[in-house]
């Protein structure tokens, strides 16, 4: 995702001032622009998050779950707004996120697609509007290398259902090939069905969504946000 973020940043009128990678990454020391297949940026890929934070107005994190807590803490200490797109976060990180959101604008998004943000809103509305005897099933499919299952997006869709109604939600998972990401939510009634879904065909949508989120987040007050806030559709009554 780092390459896609750097490649898309210019088109979004965003200046890249730092790119962080793990110590064992072959990208460390390379020019970030050349790594991403665009023009030279004069910004070297480094392992030093602290140095990058001193120059950054907002941080986007697509790393690994075991790095998330440290990244959140460092951003909070530096008062740097953070878009956290890492999936598979440990359950006990919620306390860290709550503490950070007191100090910084924090947007947590297991999926930074604008379309998925809209899907979450539609799912919550459908869950609230439909009778309780409609069963709910969520299916997701991703490439064979994706580790977490169900995906963070599927779990977020499950939370959207639970925000609209009580009841059990069934999950189905497929891992195979090079599927970018597919999610569907089925409300199954007697004699009828309502289906809502999203299909990603290009991983660049996640980079573009994260960059749009970062631009929006930089102007917000400390607090916890989601991609639905970026679209202005965070809740229903």
Q: Is 71 part of the annotated catalytic residue set?
A: no
Residue 45's nearest CA partner among 84, 10, 3, 85 is 3
Q: Which two tokens stand for residue 29?
A: 């020391």
Q: What is the pLDDT of residue 235?
A: 58
Report the CATH architecture of 2-108+204-231. Answer: 3-Layer(aba) Sandwich (3.40)
- What are the residue ranges of CATH 3.30.360.10 in the chain? 114-200
Q: How many angstroms separate the CA atoms of 84 and 218, rounded? A: 13
Judged against a pLDDT cut of 50, whether residue 237 lies above it is answered with no
Among the options 24, 39, 66, 146, which is catalytic?
Answer: 146
Q: What is the pLDDT of residue 173?
A: 97
Among the options 71, 142, 183, 198, which is catalytic?
Answer: 142
CATH of domain 114-200: 3.30.360.10
- What are the residue ranges of CATH 3.40.50.720 in the chain? 2-108+204-231
Task: Read off the pLDDT band of 11 (50, 70, 90).
Answer: confident
Return the higher-pLDDT residue of 236 and 142: 142
For the segment 155-160, the average pLDDT, to the nearest whole number, is: 94
Task: Read off the pLDDT band of 205 (50, 70, 90).
Answer: very high
Note the pLDDT tens digit of each residue in 24-81.
889 899 999 998 888 899 999 999 998 889 889 999 999 988 899 999 999 999 999 9
Mean pLDDT of the chain: 93
**Residue 193 β-bridge partners:** 188
Q: How many angstroms separate the CA atoms of 49 and 65, rounded? A: 16
Q: How many angstroms separate the CA atoms of 60 and 19, rounded? A: 10
Task: Read off the pLDDT band of 2 (50, 70, 90).
Answer: confident
- Say if residues 15 and 21 touch (Cβ distance below 8 Å): no
Rounded to two decimals, the pTM is: 0.87
Q: Is 221 part of the annotated catalytic residue set?
A: no
Return the higher-pLDDT residue of 190 and 10: 190
Return the higher-pLDDT residue of 39 and 205: 205
Return the higher-pLDDT residue of 178 and 2: 178
- Say if residues 168 and 220 touch (Cβ distance below 8 Å): no
Integer distance in angstroms from the first to the last C-alpha of the chain? 35
């Amino acid at each position: 995702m780092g390459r896609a973020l750097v490649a898309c940043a210019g088109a979004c009128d965003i200046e890249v001032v730092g790119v962080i990678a793990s110590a064992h990454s072959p990208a460390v020391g390379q020019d970030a622009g050349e790594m991403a297949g665009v023009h030279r940026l004069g910004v070297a890929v480094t392992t030093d998050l602290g140095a990058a934070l001193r120059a950054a107005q907002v941080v986007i994190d697509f790393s690994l779950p075991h790095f998330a807590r440290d990244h959140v803490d460092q951003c909070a200490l530096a008062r740097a707004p953070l878009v956290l797109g890492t999936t598979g976060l440990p359950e006990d990180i919620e306390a860290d996120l709550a503490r950070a959101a007191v100090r910084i604008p924090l947007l947590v998004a297991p999926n930074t697609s604008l379309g998925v943000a809209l899907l979450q809103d539609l799912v919550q509305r459908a869950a609230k509007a439909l009778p309780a005897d409609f069963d709910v099933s969520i299916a997701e499919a991703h490439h064979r290398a994706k580790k977490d299952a169900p995906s963070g997006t599927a779990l977020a869709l499950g939370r959207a259902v639970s925000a609209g109604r009580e009841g059990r939600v069934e999950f189905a998972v497929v891992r195979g090939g090079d599927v970018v990401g597919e999610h569907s939510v089925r409300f199954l009634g007697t004699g009828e069905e309502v289906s809502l879904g999203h299909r990603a065909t290009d991983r660049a949508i996640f980079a573009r969504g994260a960059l749009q989120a970062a631009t929006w987040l930089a102007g917000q007050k400390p607090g916890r946000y989601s991609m639905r806030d970026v679209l202005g559709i965070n809740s229903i009554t």
